[in-house]
Amino acid sequence: MSTNRQILALAGDGIGPEVMREGIKVLRWLDSHKIASLDIVDGVVGGAAFDKHGVPLAEETLDQARRSDAILLGAVGGPKWENLPYHLRPERGLLELRKKLDLFANLRPAMMFDPLVDSSTLKPEVIRGVDMMIVRELTGGVYFGEPRGITRNPDGSRTGVNTHRYHDVEIIRVGRVAFELARKRRNNVVSVDKSNVMEAGLLWREEIQKLHDADFPDVELSHMYADNCAMQLVRKPRQFDVIVTDNLFGDVLSDCAAMCCGSLGMLPSASLGPELGEGRRLALYEPIHGSAPDIAGQERANPVACILSAAMMLRHSLDMEHAAALIERSVAKVLADGIRTADIAESPENSATTADMGAAIIKELDRQYRK
């Protein structure tokens, strides 16, 4: 059993506290069964942080994150804070956390659980067997490029500016993560860009190709334009193993890939930072769904993405493959048994609550543990 691993839990806003509650229950189950010894510390980010500290990310939370072995996050944002100045909105807290911790590689797996084939709007024969990983560059591109802002022109009109900017080193390091992941999967990478109309996209394609040729010639590499990739994700998603792309396209395409899995509530993610030595790499784990303020507090949220994010945390940050696989098997069995929250249920009126789903997964963990 690994001991004394420090986990920072940031529940955030909206449905974040509800799904985090179930994720923490799973982690505490591991601790109680001496599979992992985890010290879990609570913190605030996003709107919750603004309410407490007046900013969406306080320095004390950032310091906690730096001292942690990993960070587990619920969700941020909601209408309560939508009229705040841009720099104080909840989403800025998450973006700043990613930027200041240099969490540059976002891993978004999209895998279709067989029992959920009918939950997608896509045809079963199209999505059955889908298993891909989207690797999104997370700290560069149009979300962080300068100059940016809204200015008023002499004639009274206004102009909004965002800059799409990439340096070669940013492209190379996220490309390396993608190629290394592909070697552990099916050895295929598709790099997605818009090199036909964007100079930053051309640089992206050239640097990914150079990295491949120099260090990863054993991995199959192809290039695809972002608009074509969006079409291919709903046309023939099984063709993809690992997709690597920039910040903006990764944001859009990973949500598109969610429909290959039935619901955003099913998809976890990991945001990896640089290696810190001694096998340590700081990372943040979160479900890719938003804060869903329309259902917050109603016990309708699907906690599976948060629970699977915890499994990714165990695998990628804590080197606990056995524990991660145990959680994933338990989730798969619960789904096979027909237990569903409203987003994936055939009959929403008979669906499980957030707590029901969490309890079912804990019960299955007990069964798997006794086997």
Out of 143, 166, 193, 285, the active site residue is 143
Q: Mean of the per-residue pLDDT values for the chain?
A: 93
Within 10 Å of residue 73's Cβ, how many Cβ atoms? 27
Please, what is the angle between helix 354-370 and helix 304-316, to 10°?
Answer: 40
pLDDT digits (tens, 9 = 90+) for 237-274: 999 999 999 999 999 998 888 878 766 678 899 999 98
pLDDT digits (tens, 9 = 90+) for 308-329: 999 999 998 998 999 999 999 9
Spell out the domain ranges in the chain. 1-104+269-371, 131-259
**pLDDT of 282 higher than 90:** no
Out of 251, 285, 333, 343, the active site residue is 251
**pLDDT of 1 higher than 60:** no
The proportion of the chain whose per-residue pLDDT surpasses 90, expressed as a percent, equals 82
pLDDT digits (tens, 9 = 90+) for 132-155: 999 999 999 999 999 999 999 999
pLDDT digits (tens, 9 = 90+) for 342-354: 888 877 777 999 9
**pLDDT of 160 higher than 80:** yes
- Please give the Cα distance from 319 to 176 (Å, whole number): 20
**Contact in structure between 18 and 299 (CB atoms under 8 Å):** yes
DSSP letter at 319 equals: -
In the structure, what pLDDT confidence band is assigned to residue 278 with cuts at 50, 70 and 90? low
CA distances from 200 to 46, 134, 163, 168 (A): 31, 20, 10, 10
Claim: this prediction has a pTM higher than 0.85? yes
Fold of 1-104+269-371: Isopropylmalate Dehydrogenase (3.40.718)
Out of 13, 25, 166, 194, the active site residue is 194
Both tokens of residue 329?
């098997």
Least confidently predicted of 1-5, 97-101, 328-332, 340-344: 1-5
Catalytic annotation on 251?
Answer: yes
Bond before 56 cis per omega within 30 degrees? no
pLDDT digits (tens, 9 = 90+) for 180-237: 999 999 999 999 999 999 999 999 999 999 999 999 999 999 999 999 999 999 999 9
Superfamily holding 131-259: Isopropylmalate Dehydrogenase (3.40.718.10)
Span 301-314, average pLDDT:
96
Out of 39, 227, 294, 319, the active site residue is 227
CA distances from 128 to 103, 113, 118, 301 (A): 32, 8, 10, 24
Asked whether the domain spanning 131-259 has the same topology as the one spanning 1-104+269-371, the reply is: yes
- What pLDDT, on a 0 to 100 scale, did the predictor assign at position 113? 87
- Which of 66, 186, 193 lies closest to 137, judged by CA? 193
- What pLDDT, on a 0 to 100 scale, did the predictor assign at position 2? 47
